[in-house]
Amino acid sequence: MTTKKLLLQACKDNVEKRITDYRNEMALLAEAIENNDKESEDGDGGNGKLLNDIEKNAGYLNEALKTRDFLAQINPNSTHTTAALGSIVKTETIVFYLSTSVGQIEIENEIYYAISLQSPIGMLLKGKSKTDSFTFNDKKYTVVDIL
């Protein structure tokens, strides 16, 4: 499998795990509400916070589902001359994978940083070509390769 395919799969695995975690958490919260209702005589049983937690997790789940759909747009077989969605952008010190914000991914003993194009550094990278430079957090980076 190519590095791009491995990176995309790592991002998809991360999102699928988050989706599963949010669904599991919501099920546990729903069960807790049900148990509170059975035990409570005053009607509420402290369910307000649990309902808020379900709502919060539902929002996170919705975002994770959108991210999964977004990742489906990436073609790991495409090549790029400028930094775009699905690109691997190598600088002299860091290698970025433009996809979604996952953070550090290690593949074949090399470290990649999966970042979103909407992140501050992603916005700086978008459209850059080989030899272009940009500054982020007072540090200058030069693009040495785009895959």
Tens digit of pLDDT for each residue in 114-123?
999 999 999 9
Q: Give the residue carrying structure tokens 């994770």.
A: 64
Q: What confidence score (pLDDT) does residue 16 get?
A: 98
Burial 123-132 (b: 16+ CB within 10 A, else e): eebbebeeeb
For the chain, the distance separating the N- and C-terminal CA atoms, rounded to the nearest angstrom, is 15
φ, ψ (nearest 5 deg) of residue 40: -90, 140
Shortest CA distance to 51 belongs to which of 73, 36, 68?
Answer: 36
Q: Which two tokens stand for residue 130?
A: 């080989």
Q: What confidence score (pLDDT) does residue 48 get?
A: 86
* Tens place of pLDDT per residue across the chain (147 aa): 899 999 999 999 999 999 999 999 999 999 998 888 776 655 555 788 899 999 999 999 999 999 999 999 999 999 999 999 999 999 999 999 999 999 999 999 999 999 999 999 999 999 999 999 999 999 999 999 999
Q: What confidence score (pLDDT) does residue 44 get?
A: 55
Check residue 82 and report its DSSP letter: B
Please count the other Cβ atoms lying within 10 Å of the Cβ belonging to residue 121: 19
Q: What is the pTM of this model?
A: 0.88
Is 29 within 8 Å of 53 (Cβ atoms)?
yes
Q: What confidence score (pLDDT) does residue 45 get?
A: 57
Any residues with CB less than 8 A from the CB of 43 and at least 6 apart, and which?
A: none
Domain ranges of the chain: 3-71, 88-146
Q: What confidence score (pLDDT) does residue 120 get?
A: 96
H/E element, 10? helix 3-39
Q: What confidence score (pLDDT) does residue 42 get?
A: 55
